[in-house]
Amino acid sequence: MELGASWIHGVDNNPIANLAAAKGIETQATDYESFMYGADGARRPDDALDELEAQVARLVKAGRKGSPDTDEPLRAALDRAIAAADLDPAELLDVEMGITESIEHEYATDAVNLSALHFDDGADEGGGDALLPGGYDKVVEAVANGLDVRLGHVVASVDTSGDRAVVVTSRGRFEANAVIVTVPLGVLKAGSIQFLPALPDSKSTAIARLGMGALSKTCLRFESAFWPADAELLDIVPSASRRGQWVESLSLAGLVDVPALMMFNAGKFARAVETMPDPEVIASASSALKPAFPEFSTPTGLLRSAWSVDPFSLGSYSFIGVGASLADRDALAAPENRRFFAGEACSHDHAGTVHGAYTSGEAAANALLR
Protein backbone atom coordinates (compact mmCIF):
# COMPACT_ATOMS: atom_id res chain seq x y z
CA MET A 1 0.00 0.00 0.00
CA GLU A 2 1.65 3.20 -1.21
CA LEU A 3 0.93 5.93 1.35
CA GLY A 4 3.43 8.30 -0.24
CA ALA A 5 4.17 8.71 -3.94
CA SER A 6 2.35 6.16 -6.11
CA TRP A 7 2.92 7.02 -9.78
CA ILE A 8 5.71 7.79 -12.17
CA HIS A 9 4.01 10.71 -13.92
CA GLY A 10 4.89 10.91 -17.61
CA VAL A 11 7.20 8.03 -18.45
CA ASP A 12 8.71 9.60 -21.59
CA ASN A 13 12.27 10.78 -20.90
CA ASN A 14 11.52 10.52 -17.19
CA PRO A 15 14.60 9.90 -15.03
CA ILE A 16 12.64 7.74 -12.59
CA ALA A 17 11.20 5.62 -15.40
CA ASN A 18 14.68 5.33 -16.90
CA LEU A 19 16.17 4.36 -13.54
CA ALA A 20 13.47 1.74 -12.97
CA ALA A 21 14.16 0.24 -16.39
CA ALA A 22 17.92 0.21 -15.80
CA LYS A 23 17.57 -1.44 -12.38
CA GLY A 24 14.92 -3.95 -13.45
CA ILE A 25 12.26 -2.42 -11.19
CA GLU A 26 8.78 -3.52 -12.29
CA THR A 27 6.33 -0.86 -13.44
CA GLN A 28 2.71 -1.14 -14.50
CA ALA A 29 1.08 1.30 -16.92
CA THR A 30 -2.08 3.05 -15.81
CA ASP A 31 -4.86 3.84 -18.27
CA TYR A 32 -7.16 5.45 -15.66
CA GLU A 33 -10.19 3.40 -16.68
CA SER A 34 -12.79 5.28 -14.65
CA PHE A 35 -16.31 4.31 -13.66
CA MET A 36 -18.28 7.42 -12.73
CA TYR A 37 -21.39 7.45 -10.57
CA GLY A 38 -23.84 10.29 -10.01
CA ALA A 39 -24.99 11.62 -6.64
CA ASP A 40 -28.00 9.30 -7.02
CA GLY A 41 -25.68 6.31 -7.33
CA ALA A 42 -26.47 5.68 -11.00
CA ARG A 43 -23.62 4.64 -13.29
CA ARG A 44 -22.72 7.30 -15.85
CA PRO A 45 -21.65 6.67 -19.47
CA ASP A 46 -18.05 5.64 -20.09
CA ASP A 47 -17.01 9.08 -21.33
CA ALA A 48 -18.76 11.02 -18.56
CA LEU A 49 -15.62 11.84 -16.57
CA ASP A 50 -13.71 12.95 -19.67
CA GLU A 51 -16.55 15.29 -20.60
CA LEU A 52 -16.73 16.62 -17.04
CA GLU A 53 -12.98 17.33 -16.96
CA ALA A 54 -13.30 19.16 -20.29
CA GLN A 55 -16.14 21.23 -18.87
CA VAL A 56 -14.06 22.18 -15.83
CA ALA A 57 -11.19 23.18 -18.11
CA ARG A 58 -13.57 25.44 -20.05
CA LEU A 59 -14.77 27.01 -16.80
CA VAL A 60 -11.18 27.71 -15.74
CA LYS A 61 -10.50 29.37 -19.09
CA ALA A 62 -13.68 31.45 -18.90
CA GLY A 63 -12.99 32.46 -15.31
CA ARG A 64 -9.48 33.58 -16.18
CA LYS A 65 -10.79 35.78 -18.98
CA GLY A 66 -12.76 37.73 -16.43
CA SER A 67 -9.95 37.85 -13.85
CA PRO A 68 -8.51 41.17 -12.71
CA ASP A 69 -4.95 42.12 -13.62
CA THR A 70 -3.80 41.14 -10.15
CA ASP A 71 -3.92 37.55 -8.95
CA GLU A 72 -6.91 36.11 -7.14
CA PRO A 73 -7.99 32.71 -5.79
CA LEU A 74 -8.87 30.21 -8.51
CA ARG A 75 -12.15 29.63 -6.66
CA ALA A 76 -13.17 33.24 -7.33
CA ALA A 77 -12.52 32.84 -11.06
CA LEU A 78 -14.43 29.56 -11.13
CA ASP A 79 -17.37 31.02 -9.24
CA ARG A 80 -17.73 33.76 -11.88
CA ALA A 81 -17.66 31.24 -14.70
CA ILE A 82 -20.10 28.90 -12.94
CA ALA A 83 -22.53 31.76 -12.32
CA ALA A 84 -22.38 32.73 -16.00
CA ALA A 85 -22.97 29.10 -17.04
CA ASP A 86 -26.31 29.06 -15.19
CA LEU A 87 -26.05 25.41 -14.13
CA ASP A 88 -28.96 23.53 -12.59
CA PRO A 89 -28.40 21.90 -9.16
CA ALA A 90 -27.50 18.48 -10.59
CA GLU A 91 -25.04 19.98 -13.08
CA LEU A 92 -23.49 22.04 -10.28
CA LEU A 93 -22.92 18.92 -8.18
CA ASP A 94 -21.15 17.32 -11.13
CA VAL A 95 -18.97 20.38 -11.76
CA GLU A 96 -17.97 20.62 -8.11
CA MET A 97 -16.93 16.97 -8.20
CA GLY A 98 -14.94 17.66 -11.38
CA ILE A 99 -13.14 20.57 -9.72
CA THR A 100 -12.19 18.33 -6.82
CA GLU A 101 -11.10 15.41 -8.99
CA SER A 102 -9.20 17.26 -11.72
CA ILE A 103 -7.80 20.27 -9.84
CA GLU A 104 -7.88 19.95 -6.06
CA HIS A 105 -6.60 16.36 -6.02
CA GLU A 106 -3.95 17.28 -8.60
CA TYR A 107 -2.61 20.23 -6.60
CA ALA A 108 -3.37 18.88 -3.11
CA THR A 109 -5.37 21.88 -1.92
CA ASP A 110 -8.72 23.62 -2.19
CA ALA A 111 -9.30 25.88 -5.19
CA VAL A 112 -9.59 28.88 -2.86
CA ASN A 113 -5.86 28.55 -2.08
CA LEU A 114 -4.64 28.28 -5.68
CA SER A 115 -3.42 31.14 -7.83
CA ALA A 116 -5.93 31.77 -10.61
CA LEU A 117 -3.13 32.99 -12.85
CA HIS A 118 -0.38 30.46 -12.16
CA PHE A 119 -1.70 27.35 -10.38
CA ASP A 120 -1.05 25.11 -13.40
CA ASP A 121 2.22 26.68 -14.60
CA GLY A 122 4.99 24.22 -15.41
CA ALA A 123 5.65 21.64 -18.09
CA ASP A 124 3.25 18.90 -19.12
CA GLU A 125 4.32 15.36 -18.32
CA GLY A 126 5.11 13.39 -21.49
CA GLY A 127 3.69 9.93 -22.04
CA GLY A 128 1.48 7.86 -19.78
CA ASP A 129 1.80 7.15 -16.08
CA ALA A 130 2.96 4.01 -14.30
CA LEU A 131 2.66 2.44 -10.88
CA LEU A 132 5.35 0.38 -9.16
CA PRO A 133 3.80 -2.88 -7.92
CA GLY A 134 6.86 -3.69 -5.82
CA GLY A 135 6.78 -0.33 -4.05
CA TYR A 136 8.35 3.06 -4.70
CA ASP A 137 10.99 2.23 -2.11
CA LYS A 138 12.69 0.10 -4.76
CA VAL A 139 13.65 3.36 -6.48
CA VAL A 140 14.93 4.85 -3.21
CA GLU A 141 16.98 1.72 -2.50
CA ALA A 142 18.54 1.86 -5.97
CA VAL A 143 19.50 5.53 -5.60
CA ALA A 144 20.79 5.10 -2.04
CA ASN A 145 22.91 2.04 -2.80
CA GLY A 146 26.44 2.65 -1.53
CA LEU A 147 25.64 5.93 0.21
CA ASP A 148 26.21 6.71 3.89
CA VAL A 149 22.62 7.41 4.94
CA ARG A 150 22.04 8.37 8.58
CA LEU A 151 18.51 7.97 9.90
CA GLY A 152 17.01 9.31 13.12
CA HIS A 153 18.85 12.63 13.10
CA VAL A 154 16.56 15.61 13.70
CA VAL A 155 18.23 18.74 12.31
CA ALA A 156 18.16 21.78 14.57
CA SER A 157 20.37 24.21 12.64
CA VAL A 158 22.33 24.70 9.43
CA ASP A 159 25.20 27.18 9.80
CA THR A 160 27.14 28.30 6.72
CA SER A 161 28.33 31.61 8.18
CA GLY A 162 31.89 30.39 8.66
CA ASP A 163 34.47 28.52 6.64
CA ARG A 164 32.47 25.27 6.79
CA ALA A 165 28.88 24.13 6.62
CA VAL A 166 27.87 22.99 10.11
CA VAL A 167 24.72 20.93 10.68
CA VAL A 168 23.62 20.34 14.28
CA THR A 169 21.26 17.42 14.86
CA SER A 170 19.69 15.61 17.78
CA ARG A 171 22.48 13.01 17.51
CA GLY A 172 25.54 15.05 16.81
CA ARG A 173 27.25 17.76 14.83
CA PHE A 174 28.41 17.39 11.23
CA GLU A 175 30.79 19.57 9.21
CA ALA A 176 31.35 19.66 5.46
CA ASN A 177 32.34 21.95 2.64
CA ALA A 178 28.69 22.48 1.72
CA VAL A 179 25.17 21.32 2.54
CA ILE A 180 22.15 20.53 0.34
CA VAL A 181 18.83 21.09 2.14
CA THR A 182 16.03 18.86 0.84
CA VAL A 183 13.47 19.04 3.63
CA PRO A 184 9.85 19.47 2.47
CA LEU A 185 8.42 22.95 2.05
CA GLY A 186 6.14 22.32 5.03
CA VAL A 187 9.18 22.04 7.31
CA LEU A 188 10.67 25.24 5.89
CA LYS A 189 7.34 27.04 6.39
CA ALA A 190 7.21 25.86 10.01
CA GLY A 191 10.66 27.31 10.73
CA SER A 192 11.75 24.05 12.36
CA ILE A 193 15.36 24.55 11.27
CA GLN A 194 17.48 27.58 12.18
CA PHE A 195 19.54 28.90 9.28
CA LEU A 196 22.68 30.93 9.86
CA PRO A 197 22.97 33.32 8.20
CA ALA A 198 19.24 33.92 7.88
CA LEU A 199 17.66 33.02 4.56
CA PRO A 200 17.67 35.88 2.05
CA ASP A 201 14.42 37.81 1.61
CA SER A 202 13.81 36.27 -1.82
CA LYS A 203 13.89 32.76 -0.38
CA SER A 204 11.85 33.65 2.72
CA THR A 205 9.23 35.30 0.50
CA ALA A 206 9.08 32.25 -1.76
CA ILE A 207 8.60 29.96 1.25
CA ALA A 208 5.76 32.16 2.49
CA ARG A 209 3.99 32.49 -0.88
CA LEU A 210 4.21 28.88 -2.03
CA GLY A 211 1.69 26.58 -0.36
CA MET A 212 2.15 23.12 1.12
CA GLY A 213 -0.72 20.90 0.11
CA ALA A 214 -2.27 17.83 1.68
CA LEU A 215 -3.38 14.77 -0.29
CA SER A 216 -4.53 12.02 2.03
CA LYS A 217 -4.72 8.36 1.11
CA THR A 218 -7.11 6.07 2.93
CA CYS A 219 -6.76 2.38 2.07
CA LEU A 220 -9.73 0.18 2.93
CA ARG A 221 -9.67 -3.60 2.68
CA PHE A 222 -12.83 -5.66 2.21
CA GLU A 223 -13.88 -9.30 2.36
CA SER A 224 -14.64 -9.16 -1.36
CA ALA A 225 -14.72 -6.59 -4.16
CA PHE A 226 -18.11 -5.00 -4.77
CA TRP A 227 -16.94 -2.68 -7.58
CA PRO A 228 -16.49 -3.57 -11.28
CA ALA A 229 -13.47 -5.77 -11.87
CA ASP A 230 -12.30 -3.72 -14.86
CA ALA A 231 -12.42 -0.36 -13.07
CA GLU A 232 -9.13 1.29 -12.14
CA LEU A 233 -10.78 4.39 -10.72
CA LEU A 234 -14.15 4.96 -9.10
CA ASP A 235 -15.48 8.53 -9.24
CA ILE A 236 -18.59 9.29 -7.21
CA VAL A 237 -20.42 12.63 -7.19
CA PRO A 238 -21.11 13.54 -3.55
CA SER A 239 -24.14 15.36 -2.20
CA ALA A 240 -23.92 19.14 -1.72
CA SER A 241 -23.31 18.70 2.01
CA ARG A 242 -20.29 16.47 1.29
CA ARG A 243 -18.67 18.61 -1.41
CA GLY A 244 -15.11 17.51 -2.13
CA GLN A 245 -15.22 14.41 0.09
CA TRP A 246 -14.21 10.89 -1.00
CA VAL A 247 -14.89 11.57 -4.68
CA GLU A 248 -12.20 9.31 -6.15
CA SER A 249 -10.79 5.88 -5.34
CA LEU A 250 -8.17 3.66 -6.93
CA SER A 251 -8.87 -0.06 -7.12
CA LEU A 252 -5.86 -1.95 -5.82
CA ALA A 253 -7.19 -5.32 -6.94
CA GLY A 254 -4.83 -5.39 -9.92
CA LEU A 255 -1.80 -4.40 -7.85
CA VAL A 256 -2.14 -6.40 -4.64
CA ASP A 257 -3.85 -9.72 -4.15
CA VAL A 258 -6.54 -8.34 -1.85
CA PRO A 259 -9.83 -6.50 -2.49
CA ALA A 260 -8.90 -2.97 -1.46
CA LEU A 261 -9.54 0.64 -2.41
CA MET A 262 -7.23 3.63 -2.02
CA MET A 263 -9.47 6.66 -1.45
CA PHE A 264 -8.17 10.20 -2.00
CA ASN A 265 -8.95 13.51 -0.33
CA ALA A 266 -7.28 16.88 -0.72
CA GLY A 267 -6.91 20.18 1.10
CA LYS A 268 -8.89 21.05 4.21
CA PHE A 269 -10.82 17.78 4.26
CA ALA A 270 -7.63 15.75 3.79
CA ARG A 271 -6.17 17.40 6.87
CA ALA A 272 -9.37 16.61 8.77
CA VAL A 273 -9.30 12.95 7.69
CA GLU A 274 -5.68 12.59 8.78
CA THR A 275 -6.62 13.59 12.33
CA MET A 276 -9.91 11.64 12.61
CA PRO A 277 -10.13 8.52 14.79
CA ASP A 278 -10.17 5.30 12.75
CA PRO A 279 -13.90 4.53 13.30
CA GLU A 280 -14.86 8.03 12.11
CA VAL A 281 -12.74 7.64 8.97
CA ILE A 282 -14.33 4.29 8.15
CA ALA A 283 -17.85 5.62 8.74
CA SER A 284 -17.25 8.71 6.61
CA ALA A 285 -15.71 6.77 3.72
CA SER A 286 -18.40 4.08 3.90
CA SER A 287 -21.24 6.58 3.67
CA ALA A 288 -19.64 8.01 0.50
CA LEU A 289 -19.47 4.59 -1.17
CA LYS A 290 -22.96 3.36 -0.31
CA PRO A 291 -25.02 5.40 -2.82
CA ALA A 292 -23.15 3.83 -5.74
CA PHE A 293 -22.71 0.41 -4.12
CA PRO A 294 -25.71 -0.60 -1.98
CA GLU A 295 -24.11 -4.04 -1.57
CA PHE A 296 -21.16 -2.33 0.14
CA SER A 297 -19.51 -4.54 2.76
CA THR A 298 -17.98 -3.28 6.00
CA PRO A 299 -14.21 -2.73 5.68
CA THR A 300 -12.02 -5.32 7.37
CA GLY A 301 -8.83 -3.25 7.40
CA LEU A 302 -7.63 0.34 7.31
CA LEU A 303 -4.29 1.93 6.45
CA ARG A 304 -3.95 5.67 5.91
CA SER A 305 -1.52 8.52 5.48
CA ALA A 306 -0.86 11.31 7.96
CA TRP A 307 1.54 13.59 6.06
CA SER A 308 -0.14 16.80 7.18
CA VAL A 309 0.67 16.06 10.83
CA ASP A 310 4.06 14.41 10.26
CA PRO A 311 6.56 16.95 11.70
CA PHE A 312 9.11 15.97 9.04
CA SER A 313 6.70 16.64 6.16
CA LEU A 314 3.78 18.83 7.32
CA GLY A 315 2.03 18.17 4.04
CA SER A 316 2.26 16.16 0.84
CA TYR A 317 3.67 18.46 -1.84
CA SER A 318 3.70 22.13 -2.79
CA PHE A 319 1.37 24.30 -4.86
CA ILE A 320 1.43 27.82 -6.29
CA GLY A 321 -0.67 29.94 -3.98
CA VAL A 322 -2.34 33.29 -4.61
CA GLY A 323 0.34 35.86 -5.42
CA ALA A 324 3.00 33.22 -6.14
CA SER A 325 4.51 32.11 -9.45
CA LEU A 326 7.24 29.91 -10.88
CA ALA A 327 9.70 32.67 -9.95
CA ASP A 328 9.17 31.67 -6.32
CA ARG A 329 10.18 28.08 -7.08
CA ASP A 330 13.33 29.42 -8.76
CA ALA A 331 14.06 31.65 -5.77
CA LEU A 332 13.68 28.70 -3.40
CA ALA A 333 16.10 26.66 -5.52
CA ALA A 334 18.67 29.45 -5.92
CA PRO A 335 22.11 28.33 -4.61
CA GLU A 336 23.93 30.30 -1.96
CA ASN A 337 27.43 30.19 -0.50
CA ARG A 338 27.88 26.55 0.62
CA ARG A 339 24.09 26.26 1.03
CA PHE A 340 21.96 24.64 -1.66
CA PHE A 341 18.28 23.70 -1.81
CA ALA A 342 16.42 20.89 -3.57
CA GLY A 343 13.11 19.05 -3.48
CA GLU A 344 9.88 19.00 -5.46
CA ALA A 345 9.03 22.58 -4.41
CA CYS A 346 12.27 23.71 -6.09
CA SER A 347 11.33 22.19 -9.44
CA HIS A 348 10.42 24.81 -12.04
CA ASP A 349 8.68 22.40 -14.41
CA HIS A 350 7.70 19.29 -12.43
CA ALA A 351 6.75 20.26 -8.88
CA GLY A 352 4.73 17.73 -6.94
CA THR A 353 6.43 14.76 -8.60
CA VAL A 354 9.20 12.37 -7.67
CA HIS A 355 11.10 13.13 -10.86
CA GLY A 356 10.80 16.85 -10.12
CA ALA A 357 12.43 16.28 -6.73
CA TYR A 358 15.06 14.01 -8.30
CA THR A 359 16.08 16.46 -11.02
CA SER A 360 16.17 19.36 -8.56
CA GLY A 361 18.61 17.31 -6.48
CA GLU A 362 20.79 16.76 -9.53
CA ALA A 363 20.69 20.50 -10.26
CA ALA A 364 21.74 21.34 -6.70
CA ALA A 365 24.56 18.80 -6.79
CA ASN A 366 25.83 20.17 -10.11
CA ALA A 367 25.67 23.72 -8.76
CA LEU A 368 27.68 22.64 -5.74
CA LEU A 369 30.31 20.93 -7.90
CA ARG A 370 30.65 24.04 -10.06
Give the pLDDT confidence of 60-114 residue by residue, as tens digits: 999 999 777 889 999 999 999 999 999 999 999 999 999 999 999 999 999 999 9
Q: How far is CA 93 from CA 232, 264, 293, 296, in A?
A: 23, 18, 19, 23
The CA-CA-CA angle for residues 267, 270, 273, to 5°, reads 155
Whether the predicted pLDDT of 124 surpasses 90: no
Q: How far apart are alpha carbons 340 and 135 in whole angstroms?
A: 29
**Domain spans of the chain, in order of start:** 1-143+214-316, 153-212+317-369
Please give the average per-residue pLDDT across 292-319, as a whole number. 95
Is residue 165 predicted with pLDDT exceeding 80? Answer: yes
pLDDT surpasses 90 at 297: no
CB crowding 198-210: b at 16 or more within 10 Å, else e: ebeeebbbbbebb
Note the pLDDT of residue 113: 98
pLDDT band at 303 (very low <50, low <70, confident <90, very high): very high
Confidence of residue 31 (pLDDT cuts 50, 70, 90): confident
Question: From CA 93, how far away is CA 1, in angstroms rounded?
Answer: 31
Name the pLDDT band for 125 (thresholds 50, 70, 90). confident
Pick the CATH number of 1-143+214-316 from 3.90.660.10, 3.40.50.1820, 3.40.50.720, 3.10.20.740: 3.90.660.10
d(CA 201, CA 179): 20
**Percentage with pLDDT > 70 across the chain:** 100
Pairing state of beta strands 260-266 and 215-221?
A: antiparallel
pLDDT at 1 (0 to 100) = 84
Confidence (pLDDT) at 209:
97
CA distance 217 to 219: 6
pTM of structure: 0.95
Contact 217, 262 (CB under 8 A): yes
- Residue 256 confidence (pLDDT): 85
For 221-230, what is the mean pLDDT?
94
CATH 3.50.50.60 is right for the domain spanning 153-212+317-369: yes
Predicted local distance difference test score (pLDDT) of residue 254: 78
The average confidence (pLDDT) of the chain is: 95
Query: Is the dihedral angle over the CA atoms 119, 123, 124, 130 positive or is it negative?
Result: negative
Q: So what's the pLDDT on residue 221?
A: 96
How far apart CA 306 and CA 329 sit, in angstroms, is 25
Reported as a pLDDT band with limits 50, 70 and 90, residue 246 is: very high
pLDDT tens for each residue of 8-19: 999 999 999 999
Q: Quick one: average pLDDT of 228-248?
A: 95
Give residue 359's pLDDT band: very low, low, confident or very high (50, 70, 90). Answer: very high
**Mean per-residue pLDDT for 25-38?**
92
Indicate the pLDDT class of residue 220, thresholds 50, 70 and 90. Answer: very high
User: Quick one: what percent of the chain has pLDDT higher than 90?
Assistant: 92
How many Cα atoms within 13 Å fall on the side-chain side of residue 152? Answer: 1
Same topology for domains 1-143+214-316 and 153-212+317-369, yes or no?
Answer: no
